[in-house]
Amino acid sequence: MEWPIFQMPFIGNRMLIAVVALIHVVISHGLAVGGSFFIVSLHYKSLRENNKRLGELAYRILRIFFIITTSVGALTGVGIWLTTATVSPVTIGSLLHIFFWAWFTEWIVFVVELVLLMLYYLGWKKYGDATGFKIGLFYLAASWLTMMLITGILGAMLTPGKWLVSGSFWDGFFNPSYLPQLVSRTFLAALLSIGFGLFIMRFFKAYQDQYPVVWRWAGKSLMILAPVFLFGVLSYYHSLPQQIGHLIPTALMTLKYAAYAKISKIIFMAIVGLMVLFGVILFIKQRDYGFISFVPVFLLIIAFGSYERVREFIRKPYTVHNYLYSNGIRVQEEPFLNKIGVSEFSGWVERSATETDPQLRLGEKVFKMECAICHTYSGLNGITRKPAVLQNAEIIDNFLRTYKRSHPYMPPFIGRDSERQALAAYLDKIVNHANAQPANTEGNY
């Protein structure tokens, strides 16, 4: 459409966002929110038991947490802005109009969290035990507050359901999945931090005498936290259909989700079982097994990546429910564009079009405007990987005409008949006549 197009070669736009987001989620949950829990807990233990060396070890682990959160963690946070806005400026532009104040509030809490983190870490020696620990508690509270806020904002963005009807932001914020999400995120953060903390601890060999103390505490914590986490995840999956139910009236989505959720639940149960087992071993034997100990944490990260993916999947084919399709076309304008055609607004894709034949060129432009947001050429979700549906121009055209109901998670084809036929011809060329491909089909430039 009238906004510029970005095509990430090979991995595709969605994977690009997913990579940045997952790194950020792991660091913000595991090292910031969870990290504050891990360090403050050890700090508390060291004060209560008057164990100075445990405090010193906690400080050294905090240093690593501090380094990673304030570099990669903070930058990937900003990176989500830059990346999503580049991939779909009209989406982020629209969301920004809608959610500005929520994000502005979030930003204020972020600044507060960062300042407290710096006071806590950089002032560890200066402020002494009593004041330092208090700052730590405030840091823990602030970083959890950021999570509490963001969970609601994400919820409001993804399932604005009631909010669209009632106009109250809080209906979107406290949506049915809010509490389950907050619980599972909170406990995920704690679990991840224990995994990361124990892993980092092993690099401080000078404090080996303190390892058993930490292991014992970590084991006990795992045994308590992991089941609560599982409870949060399961109630999250339980709460989702309520939302999908009234948002997406297509049975297919619910079905796909149900099949997915079933497998996903089993995987989470297995991982949590593994973590409890690991906790028992830590608690009783007070030793860990090097890299093997990190396996449950690693699995947990992967499983949580797919948990986030479900969240994203729910809003297809929209980015703002019933207002904006994933490819940036406003739902309201669909019939209008069907009449006048999308190529009326193809200034940006005209710049990067490489085809010379007029029909193929038109098809290429339509592809970039409507499909390229999710589909690469031969990379992830690439069109050349779907030969069954894209056999020849006639079958493709037929598919484009009718997939709206068979593939409800894809935005429908929008445009004039001539544009659809051109798109079919272009897809046919790319998929079935690979040799004729232009040299530069990946990339934007």
Partner 1 sequence: MDIIPITIPLELPAAIWFLKFALIAFFVVHILFINFMIGGTFWTVFFRMLGKEDPFYSRLAREMGNTVTVNKSLAVVIGVAPLLAISLVYTSFFYSANNITAPLWLSIIWLVALAFVALYIYKYSWDSPNYSRRFKYFWGVLAFAIFCFVPLIFLSNINLMLYPDQWKNVYNFWQALWVPNVIPRYLHFMNASFALTGFFAYGYFHFKGKNNKADAEYYNRAQRLGIKWALVATALQLVFGVINYGTLPVVADSLSVLTLIVIAVIFAGVAVFMLANNLFVKDTFRPEWVLVAILVVVSLMATLRHEIRENALREPKKILANKTELYRSRLATFLKTYSPTGEIQLTGEAIFQDVCTACHAIDRKIVGPSMEFAIKKYSDDRNGMIEFISNPRKIDPAFPVMPKPPISGKEVELVVDYLLSLEVGR
Nearer to partner 1, 340 or 434 (CB): 340
Nearer to partner 1, 45 or 63 (CB): 63
End-to-end, the C-alpha distance of the chain in Å comes to: 18
Task: Decide: is 302 part of the binding site for partner 1 (CB under 8 A).
Answer: no
Task: Decide: is 382 part of the binding site for partner 1 (CB under 8 A).
Answer: no
C-alpha dist (Å) from residue 370 to 15, 88, 346, 393:
18, 12, 11, 18
Nearer to partner 1, 44 or 323 (CB): 323
Task: Decide: is 57 part of the binding site for partner 1 (CB under 8 A).
Answer: no
Are 423 and 382 a contacting pair, CB within 8 Å?
A: no
Task: Decide: is 258 part of the binding site for partner 1 (CB under 8 A).
Answer: no
Among 118, 223, 331, 380, binds partner 1 (CB under 8 A): 118
Task: Decide: is 263 part of the binding site for partner 1 (CB under 8 A).
Answer: no
Classify the C-alpha dihedral 61-66-72-76 as positive or negative: positive
Task: Decide: is 347 part of the binding site for partner 1 (CB under 8 A).
Answer: yes
What is the rounded CA–CA span in Å between residue 382 and residue 380? 5
C-alpha dist (Å) from residue 238 to 234, 242, 283:
6, 8, 32
Are 371 and 5 a contacting pair, CB within 8 Å?
A: no
Which residue's structure tokens are 């979030």? Answer: 106
Task: Decide: is 85 part of the binding site for partner 1 (CB under 8 A).
Answer: yes
Nearer to partner 1, 44 or 348 (CB): 348
- What is the three-class DSSP state of 51? coil
Among 239, 242, 378, 391, binds partner 1 (CB under 8 A): 391
Among 50, 125, 290, 335, binds partner 1 (CB under 8 A): 335
Among 44, 45, 56, 103, binds partner 1 (CB under 8 A): 103
C-alpha angle 162-263-379 in degrees, rounded to nearest 5: 85
Are 183 and 231 a contacting pair, CB within 8 Å?
A: yes
Task: Decide: is 438 part of the binding site for partner 1 (CB under 8 A).
Answer: no
With CA atoms as reference, report the closest residue to 182 among 229, 240, 238.
229
89-122 vs 52-68: helix crossing angle, rounded to 10 = 150
Are 58 and 42 a contacting pair, CB within 8 Å?
A: yes
Task: Decide: is 111 part of the binding site for partner 1 (CB under 8 A).
Answer: yes
Nearer to partner 1, 3 or 313 (CB): 3
C-alpha angle 431-432-435 in degrees, rounded to nearest 5: 95
What is the rounded CA–CA span in Å between residue 228 and residue 414? 46
- Binding to partner 1 by CB under 8 A, coded x per residue (else -) over 122-161, reads x---------------------------------------
Among 206, 224, 255, 302, binds partner 1 (CB under 8 A): 255
Residue 114 CB, nearest approach to partner 1 (Å): 5
What is the rounded CA–CA span in Å between residue 402 and residue 396? 10
Strand partners, 318: 325
What is the rounded CA–CA span in Å between residue 356 and residue 342? 19
Residue 238 CB, nearest approach to partner 1 (Å): 22
Stretch that binds partner 1, among 134-142, 309-317, 356-364, 390-398 (CB under 8 A): 390-398
Nearer to partner 1, 245 or 347 (CB): 347
Residues in the site for partner 1, rule: CB under 8 A? 2-6, 20, 63, 67, 70-72, 74-76, 78-79, 81-83, 85-86, 89-90, 92-94, 96-98, 100-101, 103-104, 107, 110-111, 114, 118, 122, 250-253, 255, 330, 332-333, 335-336, 339-340, 345, 347-348, 351, 388-389, 391, 395, 398-399, 401-403, 405-408, 444-445
